[in-house]
Amino acid sequence: MALIPSSAHGTNPASAVMAGMKVVIVQCDPQGNIDVEDLKAKAEQYQETLAALMATYPSTHGVFEETIREVCRIVHDYGGQVYMDGANLNAQVGLTNPGYIGADVCHLNLHKTFAIPHGGGGPGMGPIAVAEHLTPYLPAHPISAAPGEKAIGAVSSAHWGSAGILPISHAYIRMLGGPGLTESTRYAILNANYIKARLEKYYPVLYSGKNGRVAHELIFDCRPFKQSAGVEVEDIAKRLMDYGFHAPTISFPVPGTMMVEPTESESKEELDRFCDALIAIHGEIEEIAGGKADREDNLLKNAPHTAEEVCADQWNHPYPRERAAYPLPYLREYKYWPPVARIDNAYGDRNLICICPPPEAYQGDW
């Protein structure tokens, strides 16, 4: 049986079920932290079958959980192991580590933290690190030395993983060194808190630590805009495209919210440009809420605006073309034009369309 916090990424319970485990959810408190008392009660209740706790640190809520070592100790006391999802290692490297925290196994995501691109379905890659007492169980491989008696079989056809991906991370680590990697972690945390400081009076931050800080990511609560202006978080995401930004994660891990994760990669100028865009969008929402803009035919509901639409002879919206295409001055110099207008995301997810050519197209004149 696996204990999984309610704040966990959906891949955690999915992985546990695929491995044949039963899943028991551990609740979180109002601040987004693991409810230690609920964890303790469930660890005791299921101690006969407890295999592991699957935890992410910092949590998916964007908070450094101060009780994380106590959480690991409780699971160990009841005979379980701790699996740490390394998705948020970007906020750990050089400052702490999974072994110190108390994890027994950790999947080290190379995307974000170690220079591998994130998103678009890949490439995904991540070494699995284990505590010393689990090394006898690590996977063997036919070209390795004879495996130990407790080793499981190969889990990868390539002995040492992807030769196309791993050298990139290796070079990144060697070039930055320990001090550089630690500085990257500090900047990832600093950047997230800078965004929080600039935007929290416009977009409420859902979770933060007791000192009012976040980790390397933060969640903006966009749900109040639905009541005041009929604006959904998806409308904000689509409007960001008009400002030249691919939207951050929306409606995860909490529906109706936007999760921003700047990492260490962006300059202050780019962070300011992003914040300026969201502040301007907040002003557009206020116009709707105040009755100055139509609740249905407005800048957000019609976003994104394509070049074809803006340049067409007919323009049937109550707002000017200029505001649709160039809401801030920097866009006149650097403008990304979305190739298509608003699409129905949910319909597309549920109705896949094969765009492969028919088999006859491959037939040549032999």
- Only one residue has tokens 């990304």, namely 336
Predicted TM-score (pTM) of this structure: 0.91
> Six-digit token pair at 63?
């908070």
**Amino acid occupying residue 181:** L
- As a whole number of angstroms, the distance between CA 330 and CA 256 comes to 29
- Distances from the Cα of 177 to the Cαs of 16, 93, 182, in angstroms? 35, 11, 9
**Predicted local confidence at residue 123, as pLDDT:** 58
CA distances to 1, 66, 178, 338, 362 from 341, in Å: 46, 44, 45, 7, 33
Q: Tell me, what amino acid is at 227?
A: Q
pLDDT value of residue 73: 98
Pairing of strands 249-250, 257-260: antiparallel
Q: How much is the pLDDT for 81?
A: 98
How would you write the pLDDT of the chain (366 residues) with one tens digit per residue?
A: 999 999 888 888 999 999 999 999 999 998 889 999 999 999 999 999 999 999 999 999 999 999 999 999 999 999 999 999 988 999 999 999 999 999 999 988 888 899 887 655 555 678 889 999 999 998 888 877 666 788 888 887 888 778 888 898 999 999 999 999 999 999 999 999 999 999 999 999 999 998 999 999 999 999 999 999 999 999 999 999 999 999 999 998 899 999 999 999 999 999 999 999 999 999 999 999 999 999 999 999 999 999 999 999 999 999 999 999 999 999 999 999 999 999 988 888 899 887 777 777 666 665
- pLDDT for position 163: 82
* The predicted structure's pLDDT at residue 152: 84
Distance of CA 337 to the CA centre of its chain: 25
Determine how β-strand 52-56 pairs with β-strand 23-26: unpaired
